[in-house]
A and B are shown apart, each in its own frame.
Chain A
Amino acid sequence: MAGQSDPQLSLFSAEEVEFIAEDEMVEIVPNLRMDALNFVCGDFGPFFPQLATQVPLWLAVALKKRGKCTIRPPQWMTVEKLTQVLEAERDSQRVFEQLPFHYVEISRLLFDHARDDIPDVYMVRSLIEDIRDVRFHKVETNLESLNERAFALKINNLSAMEVNIVRPFVGRALQAFYKHDSPDLIPDQDRVSDRRPQVANNATRRHLRR
C-alpha cells in the first residue's frame, strides 16, 4: 500500500494513522473574528466569536495552539457515555461497541492540546484507557479462535488504531494457515466447501470514507 512507512510489515505507523484521523470534523468556538479560510480540501469560516463551527481536527488544533478558539469535545466523549460503553464492552465477549473509528487518536489529540476544554478530563482519560484495554483483550481472545478453516477475518466496530496494531500479525498468521492447509499437503482431508471465517459477527460492513 502506498504511504506506508514499512511496507514489509504492511503497517501504517501510529503517526500516520493519527494524521488520517485529523480529518475528522470537530466543533470549535472561536473567540475572534476571522474571514473564511480557503484550503484545498474546502473552505471553512468565516469565524465569528462565540458561534460554534465545524472544522477538521487539524485546523482546530492549529487554532487552539494559537489561542484563537476553544474546542468542544465530541458527543461521545462524556463521562456518562463512556461509562455506558465500558459497561457494554465488559458485558459481551464477542461484540464490540460502536465507537468512532478514530476514537483513540482523537482523544489523544484532544488531551494533548485541549485539556482544559474537556470537563472531568482525568475521568474521561482513564475511561478511554480502560475501554481500549478491554477491547484489545477481546480482540486477542477472538483471534485465538483462528484455525485452518479461516481465510478471512471480520471483526466489527474495531477502531483504526486497533486494526493497525493487529494488522501485520493477523495478515501473516492467515497467510501461514493458508499455506499449511493447501490441498497437496493434506490429501486425505475432505475438502468441505464450508470455508466461512470463524469470527463471523453479522453486521454491516464499514464503508470507507468517501
Chain B
Amino acid sequence: MAKYYDIDDIITDEEIVAVIFQKAASGVGIDPSSETDCVEVGSKVELPFWLAHELQQRQAVSMNIPTSFNQNTRLEIQADSACVDLRSRCPYFYEFGCKIAPLVGARNIGPLLLSAFKSRYKEVLTKAHTAAFTAASKNLTILTKEETNLYEAAQSSMAAFKKWRMGGPRFQKASILGRKRKSTE
C-alpha cells in the first residue's frame, strides 16, 4: 500500500499481459476481436496487469508470461544485455518483472532480471557521471525508467557540482524581480 500513490507503480500496472480465461464472462467488451460481448472459456485475451491480477485472484483467468520476458528477450539479454533496447519492449522492465514473478510461476525471471540489471548497471555507471551530452543519447533510449532515474540522478548532481565550481554569483536573483513592469498605455 505504500506504493499506492507512486506514479511509476501505477503506470507499471498498465502493462499488457496475455491471459487465458478459465470461466466464461458475459457482457464485457474486453476482447476487441470477438463479435459478441461474451468471452469464452479458454480464449486468450490481452489485459492490463491490474485487471489480470484481480481476475487471477478470483481464479477467473490464468496469466502467461508477458511478451517482454519471453525466450527472445532472454536470449538477447544473455548475449549482450547492455545493448538490448528494453524501453521499447517494456519501459518498466524491472518493476513489472518483480510483480509478475510470483504470479506466473516461472522461476527464472528473478535471476534474469538480476543479471540483466547487473551488467547494464556497469554501462550506466560509466556513462552517467562523465559522458558528454551527445555521446550518451544513444544509450539513453534503451534504458528502462528505473535506469533512467539512476542516470539522471548522477547527471544532475554532476552538473550541479560543475556549475558550482565555475563560480559565479552566490546569490540568485528571485525571478519575480526580473520582470519589467509593463507600461500601461
A residues apposed to B, CB below 8 Å: 9, 11, 13-15, 18, 108, 112, 136, 140, 143-144, 146-148, 161, 164-169, 172-173, 176-177, 179-181, 184-189
Q: Are B111 and A172 in contact (CB-based, < 8 A)? A: no
Minimum CB–CB distance from A86 to chain B (whole Å) comes to 19
What is the number of residues of chain B that contact chain A, defined by CB distance less than 8 Å? Answer: 34
A161, B161: Cβ atoms under 8 Å? yes
B122 at the interface (CB under 8 A from A): yes
Write the residues of chain B forming the contact surface with A, with a CB cutoff of 8 angstroms. Answer: 94, 98, 101-102, 107, 109-111, 113-114, 117-118, 121-122, 125-126, 128-130, 146, 149-150, 153-154, 156-158, 160-161, 163-165, 167, 170
Instruction: Check A167 against B157 for contact (C-beta < 8 Å).
Output: yes
A112's nearest neighbour on chain B, judged by CB, is B167
Q: Residues of B contacting A161 with CB < 8 Å?
A: 161
Q: Are A168 and B153 in contact (CB under 8 A)?
A: yes
A–B complex contacts, Cβ < 8 Å, 12 sampled:
A11-B153, A11-B156, A13-B160, A13-B164, A18-B164, A112-B167, A161-B161, A165-B157, A168-B153, A168-B157, A172-B153, A177-B118
Q: Are A11 and B157 in contact (CB under 8 A)?
A: yes
Taking a contact as CB atoms closer than 8 A, the residue among A167, A172, A185 that contacts B109 in the complex is A185
Given A144-B122, A180-B110, A185-B109, residue A14 in contact with residue B102 (CB < 8 A): no
